[in-house]
Every structure is written in C-alpha cells, then in structure tokens.
Structure 1
Amino acid sequence: MSVLTDNRTYALLAAGQAGDAVICAIPVRTVTECLDDVGFPKQNRWIFSVIKAASAVGLLSVRRYPALARLTTLMLTVYFVLAVGAHVRARDFGRNAAAATTLLAIYGALTVKGPADVRSSR
C-alpha cells in the first residue's frame, strides 16, 4: 500500500488540520502575521478555523466514507491553490508560501490517488 492511499496518512493530516484549526481560532501570532502579509481581512478570519475543523472531520472519515475523504482532499487542493495564489499576489515567498505550496502538492496527490477503499471499490 502506498503512503498516499494509507488511512494513517489521512489521520495524520487530519491531526494537522485540527491543530491548525485551534491555532487559527486563538489566533497565534504567526497566523495573524501570515494573514496580514497576504492582506486577508480581519473580520473574515474566523472562517479558517471552521474550514480546517471541517476538513479534519472529512479526512477522518476515510475508513467509513472514503469518497468524502477524497472530496475533502479535492477541496483542500482548491483551498491551497487559493492560498498559494494569495501569497504570489502579495509577493510573499517566504516559509508560509512554501508551506502552502507543499500542502497543495500533498493534497493534490492524495486527490489523484484516492484512499485505499475507494481504489479497491472500482
């Protein structure tokens, strides 16, 4: 089994999204600085903790609802396309842009491969 199709990969990424939801809700200084750098409006920042919490649930659904997990990876791919675009528009090519680009590649690859349960049901 490939790392990209392994349910443990989805669980690990779900933990990362859940942790990110928490730090977006607080918000910690690095999140605030990142959103300031790309010019995201302060009054709309609450949405990030909701998006990240929902994506954690979607990723965790991989065993019971693999198609939902795959839809979640697709939506996270779209999210990170937008994030990378925001960094490029703001000419912010530092560590936050690198992280968004890396996550874009990961979620894009997960979307293409799909979880093990979806692949075996074809």
Structure 2
Amino acid sequence: MIDTPHYWWLTAGLALVLFGDAVMSLRPPGFIQRCLDGVRLPRDWWWVLVVTKLLAAAGLVVGLAYPGVAFTTNVAVIGYFVCAAYAHFRARFLKREFWLNCMGMLAFSVTVLLVGYAV
C-alpha cells in the first residue's frame, strides 16, 4: 500500500497553493477571469472550481496523516490540470495564462507526486 508522502512539506505546499487558488477564485483577478473566459467556462460554473480546489487541498492535508489519501488526491489534482490543459487546447486559448497557470500547476503537481513518493 502507498504510505504517506516522504516529504510532507511538498504535499503541504501543494495544498497551500490550491487553497490560495481557491480563495483567489472567489473573486477572480483578471488573469483567472481571462483563463476561464478563454476556455468558455460559463460563469455560473466557476463555483465548481472553488469547491474542487478546496476539497483537493483538504485531501492533501488529511493525507499527511492517513496512508494513500495524499497520493490519491495528488493524482486527482494532476487529472484536474490535464483536463484543464485539454480545455485550453480545445478552445485554442494558449496564451500566457495557459502556460503560467495551467501548465505551471500541472508541472508542480507532477513534481510533488514524483518527488514526494520517490525513495
């Protein structure tokens, strides 16, 4: 069975970043609005992203104490950002927001998974 992360601070860092992203998404600044409008996500659905990110942050924190939870949540976060990247490609919205926000978070999530469980 997969244990808790070897480097807890990486997982905690990802949880903190996701929590901050969720809080910012409550009243999205311009770069987040451009991103969501760029992929044509209806504004009525923006709340779903906030809930998803808050639940992911909670899962990562809970997973620091319970084996397998952080790993599973980290994999789900990667899946979330893969889907977000697909939405960007499909909408042909590949501007700076895509590379910094979406791909940056995807790279960070993958790094946390690989480094956090490698040993």
Structure 1 and Structure 2 fold alike (TM over 0.5): yes
For 1:10-25, what aligned pairs fall within 5 Å after superposition? Answer: 10-25=11-26
Q: Which runs of 5+ in 1 are unaligned?
A: none
1:103 equivalent in structure 2: 105
Q: TM-score, normalised by structure 2?
A: 0.82
- Alpha-carbon deviation of 1:94? 2.1
Query: Given that residues 7 and 116 in structure 2 are in contact (C-alpha distance below 8 angstroms), is that contact kept between their aligned partners in structure 1?
Result: no
- Alpha-carbon deviation of 1:37? 0.8
Q: Which runs of 5+ in 2 are unaligned?
A: none
**2:32 is the counterpart of 1:44:** no
Q: Describe the SS at the equivalent of 1:45.
A: helix
Q: TM-score, normalised by structure 1?
A: 0.80
- Partner Cα separation in structure 2 for residue 22 and residue 49 of structure 1: 7
Deviation larger for 73-82 or 93-102? 93-102
User: Which AA in structure 2 matches 1:35?
Assistant: L
- Partner Cα separation in structure 2 for residue 5 and residue 93 of structure 1: 35
CA-atom RMSD in angstroms: 2.1
- Partner Cα separation in structure 2 for residue 59 and residue 41 of structure 1: 28
Query: Given that residues 81 and 102 in structure 2 are in contact (C-alpha distance below 8 angstroms), is that contact kept between their aligned partners in structure 1?
Result: yes
- Partner Cα separation in structure 1 for residue 56 and residue 39 of structure 2: 22
What fraction of aligned residue pairs are identical, expressed as a percent?
32
2:71 equivalent in structure 1: 70
Relative distance call for 1:36 and 1:7 in structure 2 (3 A) is same
Deviation larger for 88-97 or 12-21? 88-97
- Alpha-carbon deviation of 1:92? 1.8
- Partner Cα separation in structure 2 for residue 18 and residue 87 of structure 1: 22
**2:93 is the counterpart of 1:89:** no
Matched length = 114
Query: Given that residues 38 and 93 in structure 2 are in contact (C-alpha distance below 8 angstroms), is that contact kept between their aligned partners in structure 1?
Result: yes
Relative distance call for 1:58 and 1:115 in structure 2 (3 A) is farther
